Amino acid sequence: MKHVVSRKWLLARLYESDLVIVDCRFVMGQPDAGRAAYEESHIPGAVYLDLERDLSAPVEEDGQGGRHPLPDAAELAGRLSRVGIGNDSRVVAYDDQGGAMASRLWWLLRYLGHENVFVLDEGFSAWKKGGYPVNADQKVLIPSTFLATVQHSMLVEMEEVQESLGGEERVLVDSREAPRYRGEVEPLDKKAGHIPGARNKFWKGVLQEDGSFKSPEALAEHFADLPRDKELVVYCGSGVTATPNVLALSEAGFEKVKLYAGSWSDWISYAANPIATRDE
């Protein structure tokens, strides 16, 4: 796979000097749980980056930008530099949330022009359960220099989504669970439903029962009903769990894939935006 590495792959490279391992564990609604888990035990040498403090900007009062707005590129580049990530680093991200948080960092690094980034398959619990090494040692951080080259083409803004409604040049992909997509429940946002015309592909559908990513061939089959000749715009509730779908679409060979980073929580912050509540 292009973007996902195995436990054996990481173990073999654990102490190579250009490798930076990033613990991205985070529990929605429990903002301190991820760091606490990291401090208790982590993959040796790993540094910690927090979804809300490091990998998101502060939430705007009007909700525009969504619940996890994209961080400022220069500020994020500074944070990456401080934990030792430079332009020559190989980065492996992991979490314990099926790859959702690790995929956020994977996407952000690629958005800043850094291609040499991977997600650890199955995450921390599988690593530990498999008998691979863990410890609680805090790595001495040696700052590096990360210079961002922002890839604006990876992103779609809300106005572009508005303009494409009812058109045929883009296909919207909603990454949330089906009941949320259909508007039957909404545990996190103020309005229920989905962006009109969006197709539902729950992000956990890219995983096998054991929590590992499906093979590229299986992912191609999973996404077989999506067109390869049109631009796919992937979103979720806040732009986080859309990123495993973006990663998986790339693994499946789709080339025209973009992220609507503000996602549903941004969309509903504009009162005039239409909402749909049925299967499409």
The model's confidence at residue 139, banded by pLDDT at 50, 70 and 90, is: confident
The answer to whether the beta carbons of residues 211 and 98 sit under 8 Å apart is yes
Amino acid occupying residue 192: A
Q: Locate tokens 């991977």: which residue?
A: 118
CA-based Rg of the chain, rounded to a whole angstrom? 18
- As a whole-number percent, the residues of the chain with pLDDT over 70 amount to 100
**Domain termination site, one of 127, 151, 175:** 151
278 is a domain residue: no
Task: With CA atoms as reference, report the closest residue to 196 among 223, 230, 171.
Answer: 171
Which regions of 138-262 does DSSP assign to beta strands (E)? Answer: 170-174, 199-200, 231-235, 257-259
Q: For the residues 112-126, what does the mean pLDDT come to?
A: 98
Residue 23 sits in the same domain as residue 132: yes
Residue 106 sits in the same domain as residue 238: no
In this structure, the number of other CB atoms found within 10 A of the CB of residue 3 comes to 18
* Helices vs. strands in the chain: H and E counts, helices first: 10, 9
279 is a domain residue: no
Residue 11 sits in the same domain as residue 144: yes
Residue 175 sits in the same domain as residue 247: yes
Tokens of 111: 């958005």
**Domain termination site, one of 128, 151, 174:** 151
Catalytic residue, candidates 236, 240, 248, 257: 236
The answer to whether the beta carbons of residues 77 and 146 sit under 8 Å apart is yes
Residue 92 and residue 84: Cα distance in Å, rounded?
A: 13
Q: Which CATH number do you get for residue 179?
A: 3.40.250.10
Residue 143 sits in the same domain as residue 173: no
DSSP string covering 14-40, please?
A: TT-TTEEEEE---BTTBTTHHHHHHHH
pLDDT digits (tens, 9 = 90+) for 17-57: 999 999 999 999 999 999 999 999 999 999 999 999 999 99
Residue 125 and residue 159: Cα distance in Å, rounded?
A: 40
The model's confidence at residue 278, banded by pLDDT at 50, 70 and 90, is: confident
99 is a domain residue: yes
**Domain termination site, one of 117, 132, 151:** 151
Residue 241 and residue 238: Cα distance in Å, rounded?
A: 8
Indicate whether 279 pLDDT > 90: no
pLDDT digits (tens, 9 = 90+) for 253-276: 999 999 999 999 999 999 999 999
Please state the φ and ψ torsions of residue 110, each to the nearest 5 degrees: -65, -35
- Structural domain harbouring 193: 155-267
Classify burial at 126, counting beta carbons within 10 Å of its beta carbon; exposed 0-12, middle 13-18, buried 19 or more.
middle
277 is a domain residue: no
236 is an active site residue: yes
104 is a domain residue: yes
What pTM, to 2 d.p., does this model score? 0.97
